[in-house]
Chain A
Amino acid sequence: MALQNRLKPLLFHIIVLGLGLLMLYPVFWLLSSSVKPTTEIFTSKGLWPSAITFEHYHNGWFGLRNIQFGRFFLNSIMICVLAVIGTIISSSMAAFSFARIDFPLKKLFFALMLGTIMLPGHVTLIPQYIFFHKLGWVDTFLPLTVPKFLGDAFFIFLIVQFIRGIPRELDESAKIDGCGWLTLFVRIILPLSSPALITAAIFTFMGTWDDFFGQMIYLSDVNKYTVPLGLRLFLDSSGSSNWGSVFAMSVLSIVPSLLIFFLGQKYFTQGIATTGIKG
């Protein structure tokens, strides 16, 4: 009986860990293939390379004519940083308004805002494209960044839920001290909402980083390409001849997401659990 009680948790851990590692096996394989000598990638059975080489990283980084992968990273980072700043400012403003200020038609707007969360993006996609086309914004970063400064329904909802948890007495005492709405927002509500803001920032960054579709339809000049577009271009140009470099660049393209995930893990799980963002 005593033995059984000790064996059961052990068995549990072995199964759960084993299944988890099995699921991650493709990712480990990607990692190992990126440092294996080319001849070994599809022939060797194991994960462990006979020799570690970084030539795939070098060849991949400098693998395209006239342009380096660094350019794609700079472009992606620029778009993501603007997207995060825009989303945080505009979504927190709207959330503050919904959560704390009373004005006519508030309920209607709130319901409409929630409704847009469920709306498939396809319905707005084509007119938006035509609109940006008419503005002359196609093949610039503007269609990928400016809309982020106009709020995101999902994050507005997330922040509203959070602000509702902040005691209203704080608002009252701030008003007695003569604070206006702006001071209340900037000095009190924003600092107290930082967990929700960080969650929104993380998800915005990752969503924008992986937004292959949006970047593909709006960007066509290679110099403006982002990491996902660069990776696809590289895949097409080097094709099956150079898988090592494709894998090496694939690894680099997922590093930012992993890094942010491990830095902000606490906010991550909270964010998913409360809103159901898929990530």
Chain B
Amino acid sequence: MQKYKTYLAGYLFLLPWLIGFVFLCLSPIAASLYLSFTNYDLLTSPKWVGLANYRAMFTDDYRMMDSIKVTFQYVFLSVPLRLVFALVVAVVLNQGIRLLGFYRTIYYIPSLLGGSVAISVLWKQVFGKEGIFNQALAWFGIDGPNWVADPRYAIFSLVGLSVWQFGSVMIIFLAGIKQIPGELYEAATVDGAGVMRKFWRITMPLLTPVIFFNLTITLIQSFQTFTKAFIISNGTGGPINSTLLYSLYLYIKGFSFHEMGYASAMAWVLLVVVALITGIMFLSSRYWVFYSDGRE
């Protein structure tokens, strides 16, 4: 009897989450899989079209091709850069213990504000023709283009905005570096190892679990970037689709054109891509991620 009372208590406390899980997660997943095989405009009932949405995505939707290209460009440029900046600054900050808290705050502020509409609006100005970025370039005699309006460069302003927000990743690295036992460095110093050698032989290997964690999380987040691209391109993904990140295109399809079936198919393709990348990360991790407690 006591046992069942405990079970009941467990489920009662879990109830709000369970309701959310069933109604806002599990059934929507099933529904979106079904919708991805239909045409649905929210007004008339869904019409079964089989694989047509998926086929259209990869055969005759040229905007889709642009979107995929831009998204991969964005992800594979911004993620490594963001991680490298975060790691380098974390290692440097860790050298001088004084004022660490102060510097950490300064470097974190961009991450704090970066997701806001205000910063995207600002960014558009910073990288405009007369923006402060071009003013800085002018010192070196370079006449910069309008970075945001030129289809060749627009994606780089988004990458820049993303890299600018390396602070949150840096804080995780700092926490990771603090876990490395100081004796290792002392012993290495006694053996005559220099700064670089200590970094590559001690810091890097012991930090691989944190790198793995940051890499996975940042990758997943980057595939879903929306606000920056939306504000900077006024919701169009332009000029000439050059900032049409996948999430933005999904939004346009689903909520501007009301092609809910097509947008659902896009969501599933994204899910598969993210799952594949995460899977590859986990599989590869056994070759490069080093757990000091001997865990595989």
Contact = CB atoms under 8 A, between A and B. Distances in A.
Contacts of A156: 17
A149 B16 contact: yes
A24 interface: yes
B35 A127 contact: yes
Interface string A120-157: 11111111111101000000000000010111000010
B10 A101 contact: yes
Dominant SS among interface residues on chain A: helix
Interface stretch (A50-58, A111-119, A165-173, A191-199): A111-119
B147 interface: no
Interface residues of B, number: 90
Given A90-B17, A120-B270, A29 B103 contact: no
A212 interface: yes
Nearest to A9: B96
A246 B250 contact: no
Contact of B29 (A109, A124, A185, A209): A124
B250 to A, nearest CB: 6
Interface string A162-185: 000000000000000000010001
Nearest to A90: B16
A45 interface: yes
Contacts of B271: 119-120, 122-123
Interface string B70-97: 0000000000000000000100110110
A249 B117 CA distance: 11
A130 B34 CA distance: 13
Interface residues of A, number: 86
Contacts of A261: 109, 112
Contact of B122 (A23, A133, A217, A250): A250
B79 to A, nearest CB: 12
Given A127-B35, A150-B17, A273-B174, A97 B268 contact: no
Interface in A226-279: 228, 231-232, 235, 243, 246-247, 249-251, 253-254, 257-258, 261, 265, 269, 272-274, 276-279
Dominant SS among interface residues on chain B: helix
A107 interface: no
Question: Which 6 pairs of residues, A with B, have the shortest CB-CB distance?
Answer: A150-B20, A103-B10, A151-B17, A273-B175, A250-B118, A97-B13
Interface of A: 9, 12-13, 16-17, 19-21, 23-27, 29-30, 42, 45, 89-91, 93-94, 96-98, 101-104, 106, 109, 112-113, 116, 118-131, 133, 147, 149-151, 156, 181, 185, 206, 209-210, 212-213, 217, 228, 231-232, 235, 243, 246-247, 249-251, 253-254, 257-258, 261, 265, 269, 272-274, 276-279
Interface of B: 6-7, 9-11, 13-21, 23-25, 27-29, 31-32, 35, 42, 89, 92-93, 95-96, 98-99, 103-113, 115-119, 121-123, 125-126, 130, 132, 135, 164-165, 168-169, 171-172, 174-175, 213-214, 217-218, 220-221, 223-224, 226-227, 230-231, 247, 250-251, 254-255, 260, 263-264, 266-268, 270-271, 274, 278
